[in-house]
Amino acid sequence: MTKVFVGMSGGVDSSVTASLLVEHGYDVVGVYMKNWSQDLPGMKCPWAEDLADAKRVAVQLGIDFRVFDFENKYREKVVQYMIDEYRAGRTPNPDIMCNQEVKFKLFLDTALEQGADMIATGHYARTRDGELLRAHDENKDQTYFLYRVTSDALRQTIFPLGDYTKDEVREMASKRKLFTATKKESMGVCFVGQVGMREFLSQYVETKPGNIVDKQSGDIVGRHDGAIFYTLGQRHGLDVGGGLPYYVVGKDMDANVVYVSRDLNSQEIWRDKIELESIHWISKPVVDKVQVRTRHRAPLVEATLDATTLHLARSERAVTPGQSAVLYDGERCLGGGIVLH
């Protein structure tokens, strides 16, 4: 019997994942990854509640349950990476780094060491012979966050939810009377629950107020409380006067200045060429023509790849340094890279 270690977060998706694997005859072991447990001012980290929920579901399913403590490695590989990127004026995606370094590397290796044949998670994605395929539910498809996983890791991974919609997963949880069937999704920073990124960064990075400057006129139009908190294309959260809305079009971290514009067609916002770094391939395309997604749920755009330069068939808005451009060939996720500029 194939032994599968399932990452159980205490949420409905991973609960249904474990349930489906039990029903399909696998020898299932539930695993809670303890990645973060630190409370923040005004916010209690929900890890203990999530752990308790995951345990309750494991008891319901009659499966063994373990806790893997990855907190130190997570802080080093994911949290510090994120903080360093923000300090450099970039906008990283910690979920992508978590998948690369923790869930499909550290978790996989630890599970195999403890006797697993494979691992499984509640991600909405599919695999085929070491390839990563988009999920049936386009609205929930998570391949954007999984593009840095290796082909070898994918060969040892099961994604049971890839053929289902979120509504169908909720229905399955209710039908099976799983403890987490009605639990809401966490929408905050990936490892600190409902805390916003600004609140989290404030605990680790010293910031100081500075000027918000109109890029065209050079006039000071407002003040900010730290350039680190602002990202390209941002409109909300700008303390500027009335009239037409301003958008962030750039920032100077050394001068602590945020540049804005009222021009929706500003060349700083719209891009038809993207330079990439740290490109990772799951499987390379046969030709250089690809489709690219520049953020989660963004429409796919036709593009050609010339070495590390993406040439887009149409301009995309707010392609942000530090974020990822993920490459596809139809349903197949090929890999991608980090946006350099």
Kindly name the residue from 28, 98, 310, 338 that is annotated as catalytic: 98
Number of domains observed in the structure of the chain: 3
* Pair 165, 83 in one domain: yes
pTM: 0.92
Active site residue 333: no
Question: Do 98 and 28 fall into the same domain?
Answer: yes
Helix (H) or strand (E) holding 336: strand 332-339
Backbone angles phi, psi at 30, to 5 degrees: -85, 140
Could you tell me if 186 and 247 lie in one domain?
no
Taking the C-alpha atoms of residue 206 and residue 199, their distance in angstroms, rounded to an integer, is: 12
190 is catalytic: yes
**Residues 254, 275 within the same domain:** no
Verify that 158 and 276 share a domain, yes or no: no
Point out the catalytic residue in the list 146, 169, 190, 303: 190
Ranges under pLDDT 50 in the chain: 193
pLDDT of residue 48: 84
pLDDT at position 189: 56
Instruction: Classify residue 212: in a domain, yes or no.
Output: yes
The CATH number for 250's domain is 2.30.30.280
Neighbours of 25 (CB within 10 A): 9
Provide the residue range defining the domain that includes 325. 270-339
Whether residue 220 sits in one domain with residue 138: no
**pLDDT of 190:** 53
User: Which DSSP string do the residues of 272-305 spell out, in sequence order?
Assistant: EEEEEEEEEESS--SSSEEEEESSTTPPPEEEEE
Element (H, E) at 134: none
Give the pLDDT confidence score for residue 322 in this predicted structure.
95
Say what the pLDDT of residue 186 is: 66
Residue 202 belongs to a domain = no
> Cα–chain-centroid distance for residue 86?
16
Residues 49 and 108 in one domain: yes
Q: Are 85 and 223 in a shared domain?
A: no
Q: Within a domain: residue 214? A: yes
- Give pLDDT tens digits for 155-170: 999 999 999 999 999 9
Q: Rounded to whole angstroms, how far apart are CA atoms 325 and 147? A: 10
Q: Tell me, yes or no, whether 133 lies in a domain.
A: yes
